[in-house]
Amino acid sequence: MNAFDKNATLSVLPDDQLLADEAQYSSFGDTVHYVEPPKIFRRCEGSYMYDTNDVPFLDLQMWYSAVNFGYSNKRLNETLKQQIDTLPQVASQYLHQTRIELAKTIAVDAQKKFGLKGRVHFNVGGAQAVEDSLKLVRNYKNGKSLMFAFEGGYHGRTLGASSITSSYRYRRRFGHFGERAMFIPFPYPFRRPKGMTPEEYSDACVRQFERLFETEYNGVWDPKVNQAEYAAFYVEPIQGTGGYVVPPRNFFKDLKKVLDKYGILMVVDEIQMGFWRTGKLWSIEHFGVTPDVIVFGKALTNGLNPLSGLWAREEMINPTIFPPGSTHSTFNSNPLGTSLGLEVIKMGYELDYEKTVPQKGAYFLEGLKDLQKRHKEIGDVDGLGLAMRAEICTDDGFTPNKALLDKMVDIGLAGDLEHNGKKIGLVLDVGGWYKNVITFAPSLDITYEEIDLAIVLLDQLLTKAKKAM
């Protein structure tokens, strides 16, 4: 049959045929195959995905925190359907109501929380919003193109975003990055130096950073003109791909004092932690500092239609300094995305996620700590809201054990765990500096019964994986 036969109808193809076609016709560069063969899912609802055999898989990572509000969320799906039937698309040089309302909602919320007027700029994906923020910063800082970022930080894989992402793996194939960020140590409490409290470790990281400005020969500061060579510091309040590392609460306050002293902007990447993942609209709210720029994406539309953006202080983004056409995308501020984003924010406040997420997170964290008591291979458990981590180690409880976690992922995606006499699977995400951390990002609407089930399945999974090693 011709691939473009006008009489062809879409039929459900078996997994083996789909995998064979994927192996022949698809680029592997736009995906990551965590297991072999890759898993194919057919439908989803709530906290679950279902495979070809209709086996349910409890998803504890929700598309890298893009589906904070559960699969097939009826309220958000209905919003999408209504928008499709009214104004599904319009060129981005024209205006429509939800674009303006969403920008106002985010800007007014930011002014209430941070005391600053600002504006919102839209794009499609998180990395594209990071790119826009780099343009915004360079423009405001008179063309300065050097940035600070954290070791363990992740901001995307476009050329600009990968230049401020600490992993060389994402840059290696694509030539020399002359404007690569300077990567600064991030306080990683579980792996802090011996003899230090987490707070002392945080202080040491800030002092090490501030030392760069001590004299002109420390490398970044000209005391004769009081000017830094670097424009901004890109931060994730909680490291995402880096393993959901939660820094001590004093860290960002102390860091911001240094940044303000030397005129360095703070750009906060909320792409993975935004929209109540930690129990706040923005995770930076937990740390008592005022950002200059906030970059967001992922859960803004619950994964239903791509939309991302940034909020920035008025003096950085007003039309005089950042005029029309400064940066642009055909699909930015698309009406399907903005209608969903507006509904997401309305829903988040109406359903009081600031209260329910910390409560569920504390309950989940207690379950993980109890699991840790039964499995010495769980070296660290930590979290904020429903962003949690479990670091998988050898039986010394500290040495990273990537092999054991890889085996856990394989078994979870095989769908051979058991619950109430039926098969069930478990979807986990792997993160961390050593790729040995389970990064938990369940649905914010996960039930307490589902949290209990998650702990039971993790116990079963760990037991099976250790026996298989």
Write out the two tokens for 459: 């116990």
The reported pLDDT for the residue numbered 34 is 80
* Reported confidence tier of residue 143, pLDDT bands at 50, 70, 90: very high
Q: What is the mean pLDDT of the chain?
A: 96
Q: Count CB atoms within 10 A of the CB of residue 88.
A: 13
Q: Which helix (H) or strand (E) holds 350?
A: helix 335-350
What is the pTM for the complete model shown? 0.96
Give 235-272 pLDDT, tens digit per residue: 999 999 999 999 999 999 999 999 999 999 999 999 99
User: Pick from 263, 266, 262: which is nearest to 251 by CA?
Assistant: 266
Q: What residues contact residue 21 under an 8 Å CB cut-off, 6+ apart? A: 13
Give 266-288 pLDDT, tens digit per residue: 999 999 999 999 999 999 999 99
Burial of 405-432, coded b for 16+ CB within 10 Å and e otherwise, reads bbbbbebbbebebeeeeebbbbbbbbbb
Burial of 312-325, coded b for 16+ CB within 10 Å and e otherwise, reads bbeebbeeeebeee
Cα angle: 17, vertex 21, 27; to 5 degrees: 145
Express as a percent the part of the chain with pLDDT over 90: 93
* Reported confidence tier of residue 2, pLDDT bands at 50, 70, 90: very low
The reported pLDDT for the residue numbered 440 is 98
The DSSP result for 416-459, as a single string, is: -EEETTEEEEEE--EESTTS-EEEE---TT--HHHHHHHHHHHH
* Reported confidence tier of residue 10, pLDDT bands at 50, 70, 90: confident
Write out the two tokens for 6: 């006008």
User: Pick from 246, 303, 420: which is nearest to 61 by CA?
Assistant: 303
3-state secondary structure of 85: coil
Write out the two tokens for 122: 């839209």
Terminal-to-terminal C-alpha distance of the chain: 46
3-state secondary structure of 120: strand
- Whole-number Cα distances in Å, 411 to 9, 320, 406: 35, 56, 9
Give 179-216 pLDDT, tens digit per residue: 999 999 999 999 999 999 999 999 999 999 999 999 99
**What is the CATH number that goes with domain 15-61+352-468?**
3.90.1150.10
Rg (CA), the chain: 23
The reported pLDDT for the residue numbered 33 is 82
Q: What is the mean pLDDT of residues 101-106?
A: 98
The reported pLDDT for the residue numbered 30 is 87
Q: What is the mean pLDDT of residues 27-41?
A: 89
Burial class (CB in 10 A: 0-12, 13-18, 19+), 28: exposed
Given a cut of 60, whether residue 4 has pLDDT beyond it is no
Strand residues in 329-395 grouped as ranges (E): 378-384, 387-392
**Domains 15-61+352-468 and 78-350 alike in fold:** no
The DSSP result for 272-331, as a single string, is: TTTTTTTSSSSGGGGGT---SEEEE-GGGGTTSS--EEEEEEHHHHSTTTS-TTSS--TT
**What is the CATH number that goes with domain 78-350?**
3.40.640.10
The reported pLDDT for the residue numbered 7 is 63
Q: Do the Cβ atoms of 398 and 434 come closer than 8 Å? A: no
Q: Do the Cβ atoms of 292 and 232 come closer than 8 Å? A: yes
User: Pick from 9, 16, 26, 21: which is nearest to 1 by CA?
Assistant: 9
Domain segments of the chain as ranges: 15-61+352-468, 78-350
- Whole-number Cα distances in Å, 121 to 69, 90, 105, 106, 372: 24, 17, 13, 10, 43
* Reported confidence tier of residue 6, pLDDT bands at 50, 70, 90: low
Given a cut of 70, whether residue 469 has pLDDT beyond it is yes
Given a cut of 80, whether residue 159 has pLDDT beyond it is yes
Give 341-365 pLDDT, tens digit per residue: 999 999 999 999 999 999 999 999 9
Write out the two tokens for 278: 């930690």
The reported pLDDT for the residue numbered 11 is 87
The reported pLDDT for the residue numbered 8 is 60
Given a cut of 50, whether residue 1 has pLDDT beyond it is no
